[in-house]
Chain A
């Protein structure tokens, strides 16, 4: 299956999402990416339920880019659920946050997040951060077998 999803972007802010997608596309990483707008849909995708019931859970993405502050199911809860399931607990997860003041960062590390990225205000930095992130997790990091 060639059209499998490699990057799952979980981001409720349309502007941030648009810029993240743009950065990934610039690095030719956009075509295997799926953008979902809240934690609930992210969980449906990961666990192949709801409108993603055609998928299989074992067909995991190579990386999840996860925003923390989202309506309904927030990033922390998504992280918790993914880490709690044997089939998904090894998926690399990178948290995207607006601030390194975020008190949730500690909690994320406790829950086993792989990395976190502070979204910079400056566009170039933002693009650079997102690009490096996508490339690293897709090209450099060998996902656990």
Chain B
């Protein structure tokens, strides 16, 4: 604020005193007139209307005293501080800087005729005019400073607001993450329950059916034994369903790693795995496959599921054949697994990828109906697509695409 204190020559000080003497004499009249003119002003009008006359009087007396101290005693600091404070307050009310010019030029219009009259034909006239201009300039300097301060304050407030919003956001993220973690934990507990607790009674049913067969088999006729076999078959199947459902639900949580994959090598690994688990007569033709980026173990699962499906559904053909190929199209790598098996009716193509959805009965082809659901989920996790084409008794082609 000290930088706002003006350095005045004796002449300048004298001019300012001349001006102020006139102003002080008529101050009440000027302000009344100014208030009258400004009563429609969008910001000041309201203030003028709402401030009690008594307060206006006190404020004016106070301001005049401060101005006098500044001009007559060169004690500027109290006045500057007062005016900066007032400027900031008005700025906060929404009064723009430009309005201050209007107020001052209004006052000037009131004052100049009086200066003219009081100092007519004397050297003091010009000195008083100069004094007035200089004082008003100083005043505008102070108000300008006030507006700068106010802007700083606004920026600071904005910064604080932004910080507060950020803090709130961060807090929200933390809460949401905690919620998600809780849900995940619940899911883990659920998975555990499914895998653990559901198996216990199942094991008992299966076991006791076999004990019945072993210990009392001689007392049962063929129908009795068939019923026992049926009980055991169904419990094993439920065991498989539980296992498959678990591996499907585990996929949801699994993080997808991203590596470059040699798909020919991966396909060979999947084929070796299949050959070690099932004996089949299918001729498997693997073309030159494109490399892709993805999760190795998940992609092996995809190939394992699709190839073992192809082998399974072509097993009733006299010369079963499975062809695995890949091609590049529109920036995507498309893999296809084609077989010459029983195929499917395209009307049911939408059902292929649903969990536990099957297009064939257990008697025709064994399975739980989870394999393609797993393929779908894995490829989705890789941001790729799956689709299939088929015709009854004319084979099926299962495709999936991955980005390059």
List residues of chain A with CB under 8 Å of any chain B CB: 13, 15-16, 18-19, 22, 69, 97-99, 101-103, 119-124, 126
Contacts and interface: CB of A to CB of B under 8 A. Distances in A.
Contact of B207 (A69, A101, A102, A123): A123
Nearest to B189: A103
Given A121-B206, A122-B239, A123-B206, A101 B192 contact: yes
Interface in B78-120: none
Given A15-B208, A121-B242, 13 more contacts: A15-B200, A15-B204, A19-B211, A97-B196, A98-B199, A99-B192, A101-B191, A101-B246, A102-B192, A120-B239, A121-B236, A123-B203, A123-B210
Please indicate which of the listed interface residues A13, A103, A122 has the most CB atoms of chain B within 10 Å of its own CB.
A122
Given A101-B246, A126-B207, A16 B200 contact: yes
Interface in B186-216: 188, 191-192, 195-197, 199-204, 206-211
B238 to A, nearest CB: 8
B196 A102 contact: yes
Chain B interface mostly: helix
Q: Which 8 A-B pairs have the closest CB atoms?
A: A121-B239, A15-B204, A99-B195, A123-B210, A101-B195, A98-B196, A19-B207, A99-B196
Please indicate which of the listed interface residues B192, B203, B206, B235 has the most CB atoms of chain A within 10 Å of its own CB.
B203
B382 interface: no
Given A101-B246, A123-B210, A16 B204 contact: yes
Contact of B199 (A119, A123, A124): A119
Contacts of B206: 121-123
Contacts of A16: 200, 203-204
Interface in B3-31: none
A119 to B, nearest CB: 6
A121 B235 contact: yes
B232 interface: yes
Contact of A22 (B188, B191, B211): B211
Contact of A19 (B188, B203, B236): B203
Please indicate which of the listed interface residues A97, A120, A121 has the most CB atoms of chain B within 10 Å of its own CB.
A121
Interface of B: 188, 191-192, 195-197, 199-204, 206-211, 232, 235-236, 238-239, 242, 246
20 contacts: A13-B200, A15-B200, A15-B203, A15-B204, A18-B207, A97-B196, A98-B199, A99-B192, A99-B196, A99-B199, A101-B191, A102-B195, A103-B188, A103-B192, A119-B203, A120-B239, A121-B202, A122-B236, A123-B206, A123-B207
Chain A interface mostly: loop
Nearest to B235: A121
A69 B188 CA distance: 17
Nearest to A68: B196
Nearest to B213: A123
A120 B195 CA distance: 11
A121 B196 contact: no
A51 to B, nearest CB: 28
A15 to B, nearest CB: 4
Contacts of A99: 192, 195-196, 199
A121 B199 CA distance: 7
A140 to B, nearest CB: 26
Contacts of B195: 98-99, 101-102
Nearest to A123: B210
Contacts of B209: 123
Nearest to A100: B195
Given A121-B239, A123-B232, A69 B196 contact: yes
A124 B242 CA distance: 19
B196 to A, nearest CB: 4
A22 B236 CA distance: 20
A102 to B, nearest CB: 7
Contacts of A97: 196
Contacts of B192: 99, 101-103
A138 B283 CA distance: 47
Contacts of B197: 98
